[in-house]
Structure 1
Amino acid sequence: MMVIKESSLEKGLPKKTESICPECKEVIPAKIVEEEGKAVMKKECEEHGKFESIIWSDVDLYLEAEKHAYDGVGVENPKIEDASSCPDNCGLCNLHKSHTCLANVDLTNRCNMNCPICFANANERGYVFEPSYEQVIDMLKTLRDEKPVPTTAVQFSGGEPTIYPDYFKVLEKASELGFSQIQIATNGIKLANDEDFAKKSEEAGLHTVYLQFDGLDEENYRQARGREMLDLKKKAIENCRKTEPNPLSVVLVPTIVNTVNDDQVGDILDFGIKNRDVVRGINYQPVAFTGRIDKEKRQRQRYTLSDLAIGLEEQTGYLDRSDFYPVPFVTPISQLVSVIKDEPQIAFTSHPHCGLASYLVVSDDGEVSPITDFVDVEGLMDEMKNRADEWDTFLKKTAMKLGKKVKTKKGRDKSMVKNFKKYFGDYLKEEKLPGGLTIGEIFKDILSEGNKDSVGKFAWRTLFVGGMHFQDDYNYDIERVKRCVIHYATPDGRIIPFCAYNGGPTYREEVEKKFSIPLDEWRDRQ
């Protein structure tokens, strides 16, 4: 029942990897080296010359992150069974090392905006990509059929997903198919302009709104989105707050560009904390450069995950860069729960340099503390990994002692709850969380029940803060692509890693052209 294993990544600097040429997209050798305290990728194409890009602006944080790397077990039913190289035959393939943790399904490439920094670049391509309702459902079924772990989280994106003709039907069907986390990535226009849209979306099955949110200064929106939008964003959040009996959860998604809005990361987080009854998290996205960009502008605007950690430290006063951990850091929890429940669980085995995250705990009077104030997180993860490795044997040896019920899933869960403090209490500090809760009680609730009420006890007083740096052609690392956990489902039955879909060989263009019609033809049909 193992869902993680020791990482096969090369550690330390310098190191060799493979990347692509930003001009011809061919796979070329690359190396990552330390220069002036930064981790820098250097590569050379025989035809197009040399390229370099800062990967992380702080080499110490870069090296610390890779200490927490794990590999996944891949998928048992890959679409491509005999791939010999990456990323030229995505599907998923037999070379991929992770399963899908979050799936993107593009409902349309149409949009009610035309943002300069959009991945999809929806309104300039001259064609409309808009899968039929039946095609969308087939994509969802493909995701649910993934083995050993069916995909449980889906994000509908675009373009702008809320303008898709069968938007509500798709939400309902996703819920019916068993997705436990249903999201939309939206600019918020429909949510703001239609007061009932949030309620209708939630009733149809929507759990979370991923809302573009680029700062608290209209100049940010003028540069990133081409128009003023701050009041509209606030109105969208307010309408999500009004849904009953609970607010529709919102995650703010700021695209951060150096020299444009990097000075806003602290203010954005403070805004989220003040609105934590509806805002459940902030997921910063350092800009990825699509298309051609001159070297000077690229170097000036490049923003990395270490810039984010340091920026939040400097701009907030309550966070330290050491409070952030890479995404795979939490995978021992997945392994432990997989053993306890005797079924494989979602494991976030992405590359350690894909993302960073932490949790904030907020008291009734607004005092903010990182989760590391309450938990020895590194000790806890190490102990969970060690305990998971021996848990099967432990259960067998103690079955008679704990009773026959331990042989059942319910019995194993109860056994874990009963013994939680015995095994993990040393890593939980005794300070009380807001409302009289303790970390131990919350972890036990999540591990034993795994339901929304249990998680809710944790979520309503906490705020997720993290960053995910999607790749572009300049910092493209194939080792990251192989471990990607955020994937696109396509109408032809493939599942493609995010950074391969939007960068590198650019599968997005291939897929959209294959399943699109010319823009003029689409207009004539309306």
Structure 2
Amino acid sequence: MPEKDYTYYDFTISLCSACLRRVDAKIIFEQDKVFMVKHCPEHGREKVLIATDIAYYKNTRNYNKPSEAPLKTNTQTHYGCPYDCGLCQDHEQHSCLSVIEVTDRCNLTCPTCYAMSSPHYGRHRTLEEIERMLDIIVANEGQPDVVQISGGEPTIHPQFFEILDIAKKKPIRHLMLNTNGIRIAKDKEFAARLATYMPDFEVYLQFDSFKPEVLEQMRGKDLTDIRRQALNNLNELDLSTTLVVTLQKGLNDDEIGKIIDYALQQKCVRGVTLQPVQIAGRTEGFDPATDRITLTEVRQQILAQTSVFNEHDLIPVPCNPDALMMGYALKLGGQAFPLTRFVDPAVLLNNSKNTIVYEQDEALHKHVLKIFSTGISTDAAVGDMQSLLCCLPQIQAPGLNYNNLFRVVIMRFIDAYDFDVRAIKKSCVHIVHKDGRIIPFETMNLFYRDEKEEYLRTIIDDYSPKITTHERSI
């Protein structure tokens, strides 16, 4: 019998990238890569690259663990994922990170923007609306792990600091500001006031490239001086900061190592988050056939472009292993020492919470500190542990704190091309819709923004579920 030139691995439900209707899809291994193959009755066959490392892709299944549900759900399951978002009762993960968009407007009109923001788009949310959104998160989560104040550009909201004051009064463990950094760069008093919200406050700073031409293509203008001045101001204040890099293949993926190395030299920077472009919203000049970059390609670029991490340091995150990868290092004296390789995966799977903020996980934090406290004397360490500790200054483990940790995260936001219902059900980055629903980031940008909901209704009108809500949830 003839043998096919690929290996069949799995089956899932995906979307047609043209009409966004659900279609069957199979996962195959071919020429050392992982592809999704799907067929729409109207738009035909699609073959989409979803991973360039078969071993890593298969290993993500080993990082799966029992789901952690929110305290309550907000919508019923009727049409099936992804047409019931809110969170529905069939979603498999609580909100590790909850996003509140306090404004639709921005002081830029970026050619790459999932929210379609601009200086004249939409409106600012009222304080009453924003507090209601925060209360919805608290009702779902109890004590939310991370709440991100976002937009648009949140710092242009006329009542910005009142928003932070309201948020800080809620039982939120960690508050994050998502910003392009323009106001931080231009207004030192503004930056200084931000610092008064520490501890448990962080700046999530857009930082895509060192190249003016790349920034002009992605952000519409050269922001290199703005980025550097913003970081100078944040460094002076030692205000905890994560650099956020939106990645497009062939445009700025060659700068991954340089950005990580640069981040490690910044006093205030606690990590780098790498986000491949999600094909949603405004993606001017973006060709999905050539410009998409997968999570595994980003991981391979980290390994190729930096000397800090090896393949054992960059591992799936259990809350959503298909979409999140992380690696930790210890920052000491201007150097970085990787940590993740010394953490038994069983600790992540059996003793830690489902969260993307591992430095706040007491069980894992104690485990990491134990590594160093038991190895202060190098003759007590073995193997790689001994090699690491002999390079470290003599330190006392209890003195380590959040400022010493540095993390690299790849955050893949699935779109219609690589949509996999199995992974979407574990999405843990959620946006609070202006009507109060809590919606996964991925499906929010595909279906639940303004006029997109009108199109979703046409899909639902054409869809006749064959099983009841009760049967589906059993």
Q: Which amino acid is 1:175 matched to? A: K
Asked if 1 retains the 8 angstrom alpha-carbon contact of 2:113 and 2:282, the reply is: no
Q: 2:230 aligns with which of 227, 236, 243?
A: 236
1:214 maps to 2:157: no
CA distance in structure 1 between the aligned counterparts of 2:381 and 2:40, rounded to whole angstroms:
50
- Distance 1:190-1:249 versus aligned 2 partners, 3 A rule: same
1:280 maps to 2:242: no
**CA root-mean-square deviation:** 3.2
Q: Which amino acid is 1:217 matched to? A: K
Pairwise CA distance, 1:179: 1.4
- Distance 1:248-1:296 versus aligned 2 partners, 3 A rule: closer
1:358 maps to 2:327: yes
Q: Which amino acid is 1:469 matched to? A: R
In structure 2, the residue matched to 1:172 is: 165
Pairwise CA distance, 1:113: 0.6
- Distance 1:512-1:45 versus aligned 2 partners, 3 A rule: closer
1:480 maps to 2:423: yes
- Distance 1:359-1:164 versus aligned 2 partners, 3 A rule: same
In structure 1, the residue matched to 2:339 is: 371
In structure 1, the residue matched to 2:135 is: 141
Q: Which amino acid is 2:418 matched to? A: N
Pairwise CA distance, 1:283: 0.2
Pairwise CA distance, 1:462: 2.8
Range with bigger deviation, 157-166 or 48-57? 48-57
Q: Counterparts of 1:214-363 in structure 2 under 5 Å?
A: 214-243=208-237, 247-275=238-266, 277-290=267-280, 297-328=287-318, 349-350=319-320, 352-363=321-332
| Number of residue pairs matched by the alignment | 427
CA distance in structure 1 between the aligned counterparts of 2:413 and 2:448, rounded to whole angstroms:
13
CA distance in structure 2 between the aligned counterparts of 1:142 and 1:383, rounded to whole angstroms:
29
Write out per-residue CA displacement over residues 88-110 of structure 1, whole angstroms, 9 at most, x where no aligned residue.
11111110111111111111111
Provide the TM-score with structure 1 as the length reference.
0.74
Asked if 1 retains the 8 angstrom alpha-carbon contact of 2:101 and 2:151, the reply is: yes
- Distance 1:53-1:458 versus aligned 2 partners, 3 A rule: farther
- Distance 1:512-1:229 versus aligned 2 partners, 3 A rule: farther
Asked if 1 retains the 8 angstrom alpha-carbon contact of 2:112 and 2:283, the reply is: no
In structure 2, the residue matched to 1:518 is: none
Pairwise CA distance, 1:67: 1.3
CA distance in structure 1 between the aligned counterparts of 2:67 and 2:184, rounded to whole angstroms:
37
Q: Counterparts of 1:39-54 in structure 2 under 5 Å?
A: 39-54=34-49
Pairwise CA distance, 1:83: 3.9
CA distance in structure 2 between the aligned counterparts of 1:381 and 1:26, rounded to whole angstroms:
36
1:107 maps to 2:102: yes
Q: Which amino acid is 1:321 matched to? A: E
- Distance 1:508-1:267 versus aligned 2 partners, 3 A rule: farther
Q: Counterparts of 1:484-523 in structure 2 under 5 Å?
A: 484-503=427-446, 505-507=447-449, 509=451
Range with bigger deviation, 73-82 or 483-492? 73-82
CA distance in structure 1 between the aligned counterparts of 2:113 and 2:286, rounded to whole angstroms:
21
Range with bigger deviation, 71-80 or 222-231? 71-80
Q: 1:93 aligns with which of 70, 88, 105?
A: 88
Write out per-residue CA displacement over residues 134-185 of structure 1, whole angstroms, 9 at most, x where no aligned residue.
00000000101115x5323111111111101111001011010121211111
Asked if 1 retains the 8 angstrom alpha-carbon contact of 2:51 and 2:296, the reply is: yes
Asked if 2 retains the 8 angstrom alpha-carbon contact of 1:490 and 1:511, the reply is: no
Pairwise CA distance, 1:36: 1.4
- Distance 1:39-1:258 versus aligned 2 partners, 3 A rule: same
Pairwise CA distance, 1:295: 12
Pairwise CA distance, 1:132: 1.1
Secondary structure of the 1:138 match is: helix
CA distance in structure 1 between the aligned counterparts of 2:350 and 2:153, rounded to whole angstroms:
43
- Distance 1:226-1:194 versus aligned 2 partners, 3 A rule: same
Pairwise CA distance, 1:231: 1.2
Pairwise CA distance, 1:195: 1.1
CA distance in structure 2 between the aligned counterparts of 1:432 and 1:137, rounded to whole angstroms:
51
Secondary structure of the 2:24 match is: strand
Pairwise CA distance, 1:81: 3.8
Structure 1 unaligned blocks of 5 or more: 1-11, 329-348, 386-412, 443-453, 514-526
Write out per-residue CA displacement over residues 117-145 of structure 1, whole angstroms, 9 at most, x where no aligned residue.
11111139x75142211000000001011
- Distance 1:109-1:512 versus aligned 2 partners, 3 A rule: farther
- Distance 1:134-1:204 versus aligned 2 partners, 3 A rule: farther
CA distance in structure 1 between the aligned counterparts of 2:282 and 2:434, rounded to whole angstroms:
28
Judging by fraction of residues, say which structure has more helix.
1
Q: Which runs of 4+ in 1 moved over 6 A?
A: 292-296, 424-428
Q: Which amino acid is 1:378 matched to? A: P
- Distance 1:220-1:235 versus aligned 2 partners, 3 A rule: same
Write out per-residue CA displacement over residues 237-263 of structure 1, whole angstroms, 9 at most, x where no aligned residue.
1111222xxx11110001111110111
Asked if 1 retains the 8 angstrom alpha-carbon contact of 2:14 and 2:25, the reply is: yes
Pairwise CA distance, 1:458: 3.2
Secondary structure of the 1:75 match is: coil
Write out per-residue CA displacement over residues 290-334 of structure 1, whole angstroms, 9 at most, x where no aligned residue.
269899932321111111121111111232233211111xxxxxx
- Distance 1:463-1:110 versus aligned 2 partners, 3 A rule: same
CA distance in structure 2 between the aligned counterparts of 1:22 and 1:192, rounded to whole angstroms:
39
CA distance in structure 1 between the aligned counterparts of 2:391 and 2:97, rounded to whole angstroms:
30
Asked if 2 retains the 8 angstrom alpha-carbon contact of 1:310 and 1:320, the reply is: no
CA distance in structure 1 between the aligned counterparts of 2:427 and 2:169, rounded to whole angstroms:
27
Pairwise CA distance, 1:436: 3.6
- Distance 1:427-1:63 versus aligned 2 partners, 3 A rule: farther
Pairwise CA distance, 1:491: 2.7
